[in-house]
């Protein structure tokens, strides 16, 4: 069933998606052998949860093995009925091994990733018994299964515990995966608990390092909310570490549709996957960011005062206008600007003190049309915190103005959270976010800290739901670690989650 694209990084209501793929490919079947219910471990209370199936092509000598983990929100799904994909993989020269793992609430995610490791070790040890190559192993998964395989592949300690040499893991394929589980929402809280250390450890993103295997990350254009950000966050983390990673959004696809079609005649996605399996290191890593920044205070006639900050090298990929309405907001902007600029984002800090949303909108348009005259990258994103974020939310701008997205952090968006003496507003007054008509609208990244007032968080959710109803692509993030100001002040430091989120939103 269709799900709104909203609410949180990793918000999964999969209801077993991907566990009932029973289609058979048309035409003659390729020659392969099939062995089901191989017991790879004895860790589960139900022995069936530690079993795998193995499909082996007969026409290939010592084929490599692709271990596959199903989706199902860590609570459902299984290895059965993946015959269509298995036969298609065999036809391309790969052995295919879908596995079961233990499931929540009877097991923790750490038990599930350990099961993936046990299955990997079993395949390595018994590959020769089935005519396969145990030194060429691939990890592949969908949704929660993609979370488990990337967690194992990137976590040095867990992979080492399997006893399988890292060099034998050729790469990892994540289909619509969850790669960051620290943000709050009921779906993740019920599976991963509330211990920050546990959730940090369970986030594949946090384990990215130079020793990691190459990765292919795919997700749908109409996937579940937050998964596009997850994919781009992990891609950028791997590129920062110098690891080859190919990440692609599949046009027109939703969370499960393209997975159901894997292996059907003419399916382009499996061609992409197999192209990666043939040449995993062809995805060239992006050079690391860093270096000097330059800034100036050039004036643009009719615009609010701005400070322009951009990298000297490399050339900025995107321009971002940040509205600060007072000294505190300007100080917080400073926490974000340096790390963003050093990662290829040019930032214009707009002085919004005493301004209204119309002045902010007019300034954005002037920056779009005249910023090159002062040597600045034309902005396509607009953001702010507090009152500055409120002005960003209300600014009457659309894609026709060149706006691709808004960032609204810890901002009052309704009568209960507005400070005393502030202009009277309701959620429906934020026409900038809600937009007009049924055409394409700028994306929206909204974030509150878990220490922000409840009224502010509730009203942000209300505005987000209204925007979703107007077909806005919304990401509403509940950040751990205190109120929004505290989270922003930590941007760029160890354990920071906000900066990777911003990078993923601004630089797709």
Which pLDDT tens digit goes with each residue over 463-480?
999 888 888 889 999 999
Structure tokens at 504: 């993923």
Identify the CATH number of the domain defined by range 293-506.
3.40.50.1820
Q: From CA 462, how far away is CA 466, in angstroms rounded?
A: 6
- Can you read off the two tokens belonging to residue 405? 């997205």
Res 9: pLDDT: 37
Q: Is the dihedral of CA 82, 235, 170, 99 positive or negative?
A: negative
Tell me whether the CATH fold assigned to 35-282 matches the one assigned to 293-506: yes
- Of 442, 221, 465, 430, the C-alpha closest to 321 is 442
Whole-number pLDDT of residue 20: 37
pLDDT of residue 30: 56
Asked if 325 contacts 353 with a C-beta cutoff of 8 angstroms, the reply is yes
From 376, 445, 366, select the one nearest 404 (Cα to Cα).
445
* Cβ neighbours of 95 (radius 10 Å): 29
Q: Is-contact 147 207, C-beta < 8 A?
A: no
Measured in whole angstroms, how far is the alpha carbon of residue 309 from the centre of its chain?
27
Cα torsion 250, 254, 256, 260 to 10°: value is -60
The domain limits of the chain are: 35-282, 293-506
pLDDT at 16: 33
What stretches in the chain show pLDDT beneath 70?
A: 1-30, 283-291, 313-314, 419-428, 431, 435-439
SS3 letters for 7-67? CCCCCCCCCCCCCCCCCCCCCCCCCEEEEEEEECCCCCCCHHHHEEEEEEECCCCCCCEEE
Cβ atoms of 456 and 417 closer than 8 Å = yes
Euclidean distance between CA atoms 149 and 140, whole angstroms = 6
Q: What is the rounded distance in angstroms from the CA atom of residue 38 to the CA atom of residue 51?
A: 5
Partners of 218 in beta bridges: 175, 248
**Amino acid 427: pLDDT:** 55
What is the domain class of 35-282 according to CATH? alpha beta
């Amino acid at each position: 069933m269709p799900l709104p694209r909203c609410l949180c990084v990793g918000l999964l209501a999969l209801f077993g998606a991907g566990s009932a793929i029973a289609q058979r490919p048309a035409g003659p079947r390729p020659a392969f052998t099939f062995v089901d219910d191989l017991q790879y471990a004895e860790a589960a209370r139900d022995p069936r949860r530690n079993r795998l199936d193995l499909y082996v092509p007969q026409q290939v000598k010592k084929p490599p093995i692709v271990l596959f983990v199903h989706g199902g929100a860590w609570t459902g799904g299984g290895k059965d009925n993946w015959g269509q994909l298995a036969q298609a993989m065999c036809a391309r020269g790969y052995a295919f091994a879908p596995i079961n793992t233990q499931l929540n609430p009877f097991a923790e995610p750490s038990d599930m990733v350990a099961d993936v490791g046990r299955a990997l070790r079993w395949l390595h040890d018994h590959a020769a018994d089935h005519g396969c190559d145990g030194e060429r192993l691939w990890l592949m998964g969908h949704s929660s299964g993609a979370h488990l395989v990337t967690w194992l592949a990137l976590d040095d300690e867990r992979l080492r515990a399997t006893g399988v040499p890292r060099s034998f893991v050729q790469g990892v394929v994540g289909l619509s995966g969850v790669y960051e589980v620290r943000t709050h929402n009921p779906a993740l809280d019920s599976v991963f608990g509330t211990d920050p250390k546990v959730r940090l450890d369970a986030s594949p993103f946090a384990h990215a390092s130079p020793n990691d295997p190459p990765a292919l990350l795919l997700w749908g254009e109409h996937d579940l909310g937050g998964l596009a950000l997850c994919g781009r966050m992990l891609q950028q983390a791997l590129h920062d570490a110098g690891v080859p990673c190919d990440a692609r959004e599949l046009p027109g696809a939703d969370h499960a549709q393209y997975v159901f079609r894997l292996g059907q005649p003419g399916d382009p996605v499996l061609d992409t996957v197999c192209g990666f399996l043939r040449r995993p290191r062809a995805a060239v890593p992006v050079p690391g960011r860093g270096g000097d920044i330059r800034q100036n205070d050039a004036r643009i006639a009719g615009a609010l005062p701005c400070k322009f900050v951009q990298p000297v090298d490399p050339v900025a990929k995107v321009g971002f206008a940040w509205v600060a309405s007072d000294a505190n907001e300007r100080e917080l902007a400073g926490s974000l600007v340096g790390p963003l600029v050093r990662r290829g984002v040019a930032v214009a800090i707009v002085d919004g003190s005493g301004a209204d949303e119309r002045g902010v909108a007019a300034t954005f348009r002037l920056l779009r049309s005249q910023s090159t005259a002062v040597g600045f990258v034309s902005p396509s994103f607009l953001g702010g915190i507090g009152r500055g974020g409120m002005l960003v939310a209300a600014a009457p701008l659309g894609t026709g103005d060149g706006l691709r997205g808004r960032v609204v952090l810890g901002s009052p968006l309704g009568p209960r959270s507005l400070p005393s003496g502030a202009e009277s507003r309701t959620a429906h007054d934020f026409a900038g976010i809600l937009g007009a008509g049924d055409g394409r609208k700028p994306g929206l990244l909204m974030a509150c800290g878990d220490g922000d007032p409840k009224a502010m968080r509730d009203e942000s959710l209300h505005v987000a739901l209204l925007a979703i109803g107007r077909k806005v692509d919304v990401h509403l993030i509940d950040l751990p670690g205190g109120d929004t100001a505290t989270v922003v002040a930590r941007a760029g430091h160890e354990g920071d989650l906000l900066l990777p989120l911003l990078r993923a939103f601004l630089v797709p």
